Amino acid sequence: MTPDELASVLHLVTDAVTAVAATDDADWSAPAASLQWSCRQTLDHTIDCVFSYGFQFAARADGAFLPFGELHSLPEAEPGDLITGLRAVGDTFLAVVRSAPEGAAASDGVYLMHADDWCARAAYEVLLHGHDVVRGLGGSFTPPAALCTAVMSSPTLWMFDRSQAVGSDPWVDLLAGSGRPVP
């Protein structure tokens, strides 16, 4: 997955979350789709994921995740702050990836990954958790098939169960391979 494709994913998800967050009945304490987490916790987790991926790649870590704490919002953060936070860590991640020398790689503790695989990993988290939040807030979200295919093309998505993908619709395959219910 290219940085430009990841930028498209970030734009789609932040726009979708912003649209449903603007409704009067948006309850950020509601479960995020089929997850145990609330919509707020899920978006907060997504911010941390993208941040930690960028941090790991920028460090060119050669082993497990570096021994640093997670990035989380403060209790007083509003939904708009969380959306802004996702945009900010997305932009930071993209700057790190785009400024990396050709061939740069870092380990996630399982794989040594190059920029395109880190982009796919970030897009995986953003697409799926964006979907969870949008659904939890009462909306719907279906990303373009090409972006889903780009995510699934990374061989380093160890958390993605390829045996659950049936091949008929890339978004359905991404949902099924992540263990989420499919429409």
Question: Is the CB of residue 141 less than 8 Å from the CB of residue 131?
Answer: yes
Tokens representing residue 70 in the block:
């997670």
Residue 179 forms part of a structural domain? no
Is pTM, for the whole model, over 0.85? Answer: yes
Q: How far apart are CA 126 and CA 118, in angstroms?
A: 12
Residue 59 forms part of a structural domain? yes
Q: How far apart are CA 73 and CA 40, in angstroms?
A: 10
Residue 122 forms part of a structural domain? yes
Predicted pLDDT of residue 25: 80
- Into how many domains does the chain fold? 1
CATH number (domain holding residue 46): 1.20.120.450
Question: Is the CB of residue 32 less than 8 Å from the CB of residue 132?
Answer: yes
Q: At 119, which amino acid appears?
A: C
Residue 166 forms part of a structural domain? no
Residue 74 forms part of a structural domain? yes
Range of the domain at 99: 3-20+28-144
Q: In terms of DSSP H, where are the helices of 100-179?
A: 115-136, 145-152, 170-177
Predicted pLDDT of residue 150: 96
Residue 111 forms part of a structural domain? yes
Residue 174 forms part of a structural domain? no
Residue 165 forms part of a structural domain? no
Predicted pLDDT of residue 128: 97
pLDDT tens string, the chain, 183 residues long: the values are 999 999 999 999 999 999 998 877 889 999 999 999 999 999 999 999 999 999 999 999 998 899 999 999 999 999 999 999 999 999 999 999 999 999 999 999 999 999 999 999 999 999 999 999 999 999 999 999 999 999 999 999 999 999 998 888 999 999 999 999 988
DSSP 88: H
